[in-house]
Amino acid sequence: MTIRATVWGENVHETTSQIVSDIYPEGMHTQIAKQLAVDKNIVARTATLQQPEHGLTKEVLAETDVLLWWGHAAHGEVADEIVERVTNRIWQGMGLIVLHSGHFSKIFKRLMGTPCALKWREAGERERIFVVNPGHAIAAGLPEYFELENEEMYGEPFSVPEPMETVFISWFQGGEVFRSGLTYKRGRGNIFYFQPGHETYPTYYDDNIGLVLRNAVRWAHNPQAVSSDPSDAPNVPVEEALEAIEERGPKLHKKGEKGLR
Ligand code: ZN
């Protein structure tokens, strides 16, 4: 079964920082999409902030099984209307993989309902990523731990809700630890937060990172996704009750009323 992934990139650092554009001349989103395309069952397209509707039109989202999100400098420029559109698709069953500084994106905070804050330090530290859930599909094929020579330190406490599963915990050279791979479910949508991916380091060229991203796309794909409105709350008429009933008791709502929102 082909999985249709869309890699959303903010694409700001790549166009404003020489350091970042030297590492990712085609944009971080393009390199992430290349990593996904290593799996012949994943078809990856990209979308960026600067495109009309941020590249996330209704048509694009309808054809997306898993959305990956990298944002940092321009979270506030993402239109609320698009955030709601993406939220609804996730409730319908589209998967979401939130990368690195995406912890502060509107979409992640909307879905978590908490501040999603953390400690950080940009000092090129070694990161050791431990697989703490070795049976998990996202960790398939990984050793007990792997390392990135340079990463940004993200430290606890990470103010997210208690996750469904913790797949990775990272140690940084300066001594801090961080829950670097967390899963959630919102509506029918599977969500994975994955911490590595600071823009001034070549993280998305790393083979283990590529493996995690492909595993995560396969894990997040929900074949039971639906196209109906996930916010639909139908008023079932008395005559359509599964068993015959007689209406009784005091009433507030009128017959056929849509209900209050
Ligand atoms: Zn960063």
Ligand 1 centroid–CA 176 distance in Å is 16
**Helix pair angle (207-220, 28-37), 10° resolution:** 70
Report how far ligand 1's centroid is from the alpha carbon of 96 (Å). 19
Dist. CA 173 → ligand 1 center (Å): 16
Q: How far is the CA of 106 from the centre of ligand 1 (A)?
A: 16
Q: Which residues, 6 or more positions from 76, have their beta carbon under 8 angstroms from its beta carbon?
A: 106
**Ligand 1 centroid, distance to 104 Cα (angstroms):** 11
Q: From the CA of 252, how far away is ligand 1's center (Å)? A: 53
**Residue 32 φ/ψ, nearest 5 degrees:** -65, -40
Sketch the domain layout of the chain as residue ranges.
3-113+181-220
Token pair 């590249």: residue: 55
Distance 59 CA to ligand 1 centre (A): 31
Q: 245 C-alpha to center of ligand 1: Å?
A: 60
> If you measure from the C-alpha of residue 72 to the centroid of ligand 1, how many angstroms do you get, rounded to a whole number?
7
Position of tokens 């509107």?
106
Contact 8, 30 (CB under 8 A): no
49 CA to middle of ligand 1, Å?
18
Neighbour count for residue 226 (Cβ, 10 Å): 12
- C-alpha of residue 101 to centroid of ligand 1, in Å: 6
How remote is the CA of residue 127 from the centroid of ligand 1, in Å? 13
* Beta-strand pair 42-48/145-155: unpaired
Q: How far is the CA of 227 from the centre of ligand 1 (A)?
A: 35
- Between CA 119 and CA 205 the distance in angstroms is 25
* Residue 195 Cα to ligand 1 middle (Å): 9
Distance 99 CA to ligand 1 centre (A): 10
User: So what's the pLDDT on residue 197?
Assistant: 98
DSSP 12-30: SHHHH-HHHHHH-TT-HHH
* pTM assigned to the model: 0.96
Task: Give the single-character DSSP code of 75.
Answer: G
Q: Where are the beta strands (DSSP E) in the chain?
A: 3-9, 42-48, 66-70, 95-99, 119-131, 145-155, 165-172, 177-186, 189-194
Q: What is the pLDDT along the chain (261 residues), one digit of tens a residue?
A: 899 999 999 999 999 999 999 999 999 999 999 999 999 999 999 999 999 999 999 999 999 999 999 999 999 999 999 999 999 999 999 999 999 999 999 999 999 999 999 999 999 999 999 999 999 999 999 999 999 999 999 999 999 999 999 999 999 999 999 999 999 999 999 999 999 999 999 999 999 999 999 999 999 999 998 888 988 999 999 999 999 999 999 999 888 888 888
Superfamily of domain 3-113+181-220: Class I glutamine amidotransferase (GATase) domain (3.40.50.880)
Coil, strand, or helix at residue 109? Answer: helix
- Tokens coding 254: 């009128």
168 CA distance to ligand 1 middle (Å): 18
- CA of 199 relative to ligand 1 center, distance in Å: 6
CA of 100 to the centre of ligand 1 (A): 6
